[in-house]
Amino acid sequence: MPLSRRGSGTLTTPGGQHLAIHTRTQDDETLPHATKRTMADHLRRLETLFTLTPQRLRMITHAFRETLDLGLEKKEQVVPMIPTFVFGWPTGQEKGDYLAIDLGGTNLRVCLVHLQGQGKFEVTQSKYRLTEEQKQDEGQKLFDFCAESLKTFIDSNSGEDGILNIEPGQNLPLGFTFSYPCRQDSIDHGVLIRWTKGFGAPNTEGHNVAEMFQKSLDKFELPVTLTALINDTTGTLIASHYVHPDTRIACIFGTGCNAAYMEHVKDVPKIKDLGIDGDLDMAINCEWGAFDSFEHEHLPRTKYDIIIDESSNKPAEQAFEKLISGRYLGEIMRLVICELIDDGILFLGQNTYKVEVPNALDTALVSLMESDPTDELLMIIGIMSHFFALETTLAERQFLRAIARLIGRRAARLSACGIGAIVGKMGYLESGCNVGCDGSLYNKYPGFAGRIQEGLVDIYGEKARNIYTHHAEDGSGVGSAIIAAMTKARKDAGVYVHL
C-alpha cells in the first residue's frame, strides 16, 4: 500500500522488505491535527448545513400537514396514510393470553402476552437477531423463519411446567407485527407497498404478506389463528393508551421512523365506499418516513444525505426516514468524518481505513459520543481507538461531539415537524395530548425527547408545552396482543366482521 497523503501506509524497501509506517505519536498534544481555528471554521459550515431555523420548521410542518391530508383523501399517495381497521381505543379491560410475533428492523421477537385488564399485563418473550442475508433472501423463507421461531417458542413453553396451556383443538389468537408499509383491505390482510430499513427480500413487495405468513403457519401446523396484521406504530398507539388513556399519537424513532394516530372515519374520504359509520374512529398508520420522497421539495438534504440515499438499496424512497432514523445517523456522521479526513482536518498522519468502511459507525456510538460526560471525553477516546484504531486530540474529540450533536438535533427537530403536523390537524394544541414514543433513538439518544419539545415550541410557541412525549409501552408485543383481543371482541360481536 502506498503512503497515504497523511503519511501512513506500507513501503517496500529496495532490499524487498516491507515497512509499515505510522506517523502518529503517542502524545495527545503533539498529534498532528488541524488548528482549532480551522476546525471551528468547519464546524460553522456544518452548523449552517444541519441547523433548522424555527421558520424552516414551520414551513416543513405546513407541507407535512398538506401531505397527510392528501394521503387521507386519495389512494396511492407518497405518504399513504393507511387505514388499519383498528376501531377506536381499547377499554383497558381486554384480558386473556395472546401470541404476538414481531418482525422489526433488527430482530424477530416472539411474545406471549397475558393481558390482565386495568392496563396491566405480563410478557414472556424470545428474541432472535435477523442476519443481513435473511433480509435479502426469498420472502417466503423469511416468513418460514418467523413460523419456525414461533413453533420453537410454543414447544418450549408448553407442557406441564410451561406457561402455555393450549387445549387440543384450541387455537390461540396471534397478532403479527409487520413494521413495513402495507396497504390493508381488512385487519388480517396487507399488501407490502415497499420494503424499508434495508430489507429487500424478493417476491414480497406487491404480495399479501398475511397470506404468505399463513402459508408458513400451515406448514408448521401451529395451533394459532392469525387475527391481526399490525404496524409497530399502531401497536404502540394502542398499548400506550391501554396504560395512559390520554395518549393520542404514537411514534417510533428506531431503525426506521413512523407515526400512527386515531382519526375520525368521516375524515378519511378515501374509504367512504366501505360504508363504515363515519362517527367511528380508526387508527391510521401514516408511514411518514416516505414524506418528500421522489420530489425532494421540502426537506433540507445535505450532500451527505444524498450520498446515503443514492447508495441505499432504495434510492429516492423514505426521504424523511433517511434524515432521522437510527439506520442512517451513524452513516451521516461517518461521511462527514471521511470528508474531513480527505480535507486534511482530522486524524492527520494516521491510518484511517477502518472508519472509511461504509456503515462502520453505528448510530449507538454516535449517541455514546454525544453523551460522554467526562471533561477529557474519554468515551470518545475509547470508541475511536477501539473501533477505528484512531488516536484523537481533545480538540478533535470536542469537534466529533459537536458533529454528533448537530446530527441528533436535526433528527429530533424534523421529528417535531411530523408530530406538529398531526397535532395541528387534530386540534390537540389547545386540548393538549400525550405522544407515546418508542425506539432506540427516543430511548437512548441523549436529549432526543427534549429537542422534540424544543422543536414543537419553535413551531407553535409556548402552547406546544401542552404536548408531551413519553416512553411508550411495548407496542409490537403488548399492542399487538391488545389489538388481537379488540379484533376478536369486535368480530364476536358481529361488527364489520369482513374488515
E-only strand ranges, 33-94:
82-87
Distance between terminal CA atoms of the chain?
Answer: 64
- 3-state SS assignment for residue 96: strand
Q: 194 an active-site residue?
A: yes
CB distance 227 to 499 below 8 Å: no
Round to whole Å and give the CA distance between 355 and 337: 8
Closest to ligand BGC by CB, 90 or 254: 254
* Three-state secondary structure string covering 384-445: HHHHHCCCCCHHHHHHHHHHHHHHHHHHHHHHHHHHHHHHHHHCHHHHCEEEEEECHHHHHC
- 3-state SS assignment for residue 113: strand
Instruction: In the chain, count H helices and then E strands.
Output: 16, 15
Q: Which residues bind ligand BGC (CB under 6 A)?
A: 105, 179-181, 196-197, 231-233, 252, 254, 256-258, 287, 289, 321
Kindly state the smallest distance separating residue 267's Cβ from ligand BGC, in Å. 22
Which cell goes with 393?
A: 486530540
Catalytic residue among 6, 24, 194, 413: 194
Kindly state the smallest distance separating residue 234's Cβ from ligand BGC, in Å. 8
DSSP 430-489: HH-EEEEEESHHHHHSTTHHHHHHHHHHHHHGGGGGGEEEEEPP-IIIIIHHHHHHHHHH
Closest to ligand BGC by CB, 94 or 321: 321
Q: 267 an active-site residue?
A: no
Q: 232 an active-site residue?
A: yes
Looking at the DSSP bridge assignments, the partners of residue 10 are 20
- 3-state SS assignment for residue 249: strand
Looking at the DSSP bridge assignments, the partners of residue 461 are none
CB distance 105 to 438 below 8 Å: no
Closest to ligand BGC by CB, 8 or 236: 236
Which cell goes with 34?
A: 488541524
Closest to ligand BGC by CB, 289 or 479: 289
Count of alpha carbons within 13 angstroms of residue 219, beta-carbon side: 16
**∠ at Cα 442 (435, 299), nearest 5°?**
85
Round to whole Å and give the CA distance between 181 and 172: 26
Burial (CB count within 10 angstroms: exposed 0-12, middle 13-18, buried 19+), residue 387: middle
CB distance 478 to 243 below 8 Å: no
Burial (CB count within 10 angstroms: exposed 0-12, middle 13-18, buried 19+), residue 481: buried
Q: Which residues are catalytic?
A: 179, 194, 232
